Structure 1
Amino acid sequence: MTSLLPLLLFVAVATITPGGATTLATASGARFGFTRSIPLMLGIALGLALLAAVAALGLGGLLAAMPVLQTAVKAMGSAYLLWLAWRIARSGPPVTAQGTPGMSGTSAGAAARPITLINGFLLLWLNPKSWAMTVGAAASFALLAPSPNRLALLLGASFGAAACVSLALWCALGVLLARVLSTPRHWRILNLAMGVLLAASLIPTWR
């Protein structure tokens, strides 16, 4: 257990620190509640677990060795995140179960839907930061397992479990924030802030 402690600390810090995934979990929790945000969180956690396993098997190194492929992933991931940031920033207060906008005079939010499990999964795989994090972990902790297959299981389980916990905490924070938002203006401020933070999470990717 002692030999696994550095890995567990690395995974905990990597998944709990603010970023695109945690921002989305917070925004989804505030707008849709915890239960309706579960598919998003599961999609991200499953995507991260599989990505960590792939990195441990050596396939992640292929991306690191191909600058053209790296740029393509960055471009696609950035475009998707910016689109999500735009949607979040422009969204209004949540709507009621009957489709009536909560405390809002428009029905612009009526068509809003939580991000699905598949979209959460794709979001994670299109995030270059996730590739860098998992490839780095695979290189740093390769000696913890006797074979690439064992390392894939270890990293996949560690990153998947840690992502579930960290995303749940950030989503719960969003739920708590929603309880203090009493006017449409409060919601506009929160949504704009979440959109800006999500867009800003791309800055380290292009440095």
Structure 2
Amino acid sequence: MSLETLTPLCLFALVSTASPGGATTLATASGASFGLRGSAPLIAGIAFGLATMAGAAAMGLAGILLAIPSLQLAMKAIGSIYLLWLAWQIAGRGPPHLAQAQASPIGFIAGVWMLWHNPKGWAMTVSAAASFASLADEPVQLGLLLAATFGIFAIISLSTWCITGLLLARLLRTDGQWWALNISLATLLAASVVPIWI
């Protein structure tokens, strides 16, 4: 497989993983409060969740999930409630010295959980599986290719968002600025629920 044939898939994965949404907002907020090292489990969990989702989509599981309306509705509800709960946690976090005393960083399992309950993520990975099916001879091979591509680009994109949060944190001097940042990030995370229902 040549670089030319992989370039469109890589661009699709880059745009999909780097565009603002729930995962990028969580990575930014975590970076601001806990730094890159403290956010590594969250980033790994989201990347693993997206990679396994992309692999499952290529192997046909996502088509089954999206074809059952009641299951899709349940996924939307669970995912939305979880994202709103995380937004509430971020909004109440405050400055890092308080945040680290009050809470611990979001972990690997929470990152995976968030992704697996995201119908928008399933739709995106199904679209990728359909669009790039010609890159592989069989579903398992396509699944491995999509899983690796989305996993790698998720790590790169989320690490970039996390570092952005860390750099932003270095600019903030007062507790009021920290509260404003956390409330802004929490609002963005809560707003990311809206596209799930549209």
Q: TM bucket by the smaller chain?
A: over 0.9
Paired residue for 2:75? Answer: 73
Alignment partner of 1:182 is 2:156:
no
Letter in 1 for 2:45: G
Q: Per the alignment, in what secondary structure is the counterpart of residue 89 of structure 2?
A: helix
Report matched runs for 1:15-30 at 5 Å.
15-30=17-32
Q: Deviations over 1:102-156 (max 9, x none)?
A: xxxxxx7622110011111111111111111111111111111000010001000
Q: 1:142 aligns with which of 133, 144, 147?
A: 133
Equivalent residue number for residue 156 of structure 1: 147
What do the CA deviations read for 1:168-196 (whole angstroms, capped 9, x no partner)? 00000000011011100000000000000
Matched positions, count? 196
In the alignment, is residue 36 of structure 1 matched against residue 27 of structure 2? no
1:91 corresponding residue in structure 2: 93
Give the corresponding residue for 1:171.
162
- Bigger fraction of residues in helix: 2
Cα distance in 2 for residues equivalent to 1:63 and 1:137: 16
Equivalent residue, structure 2, for 1:119: 110
Matches within 5 A, 1:186-201: 186-201=177-192
Q: Is the 8 A contact 1:92 1:109 kept in 2?
A: no
Does the aligned pair in 1 maintain the 2:93–2:102 contact within 8 Å? no
Choose 1 or 2 for highest CA Rg: 1
Q: Which runs of 5+ in 2 are unaligned?
A: none
1:28-59 per-residue CA deviation (whole Å, 9 max, x = no partner) reads 00001111000000000011001100000001
**After the TM superposition, which parts of structure 1 deviate over 2 Å for at least 4 consecutive aligned residues?**
none
The whole-number CA distance in structure 1 between the counterparts of 2:50 and 2:40 is 15
Give, in whole Å, the separation in 2 of the partners of 1:122 and 1:168.
19
Q: Name 1:104's counterpart in structure 2.
A: none
Amino acid at match of 1:38: A
SS of structure 1 residue aligned to 2:96: coil
Cα distance in structure 2, aligned partners of 1:110 and 1:5 = 45
Alpha-carbon distance in structure 1 between the residues aligned to 2:15 and 2:144:
20
Using structure 1 for the length normalisation, give the TM-score: 0.93
Counterparts of 1:139 and 1:156, CA distance in 2: 14
Q: Tell me the amino acid that sits aligned with residue 11 of structure 1.
A: A
Gaps of 5+ in 1: 96-100, 102-107
Tell me, yes or no, if structure 1 residue 205 matches structure 2 residue 167.
Answer: no
Alignment of 1:64 with 2:97, yes or no, is no
CA root-mean-square deviation: 1.0
- The amino acid across from 1:15 in the alignment is T
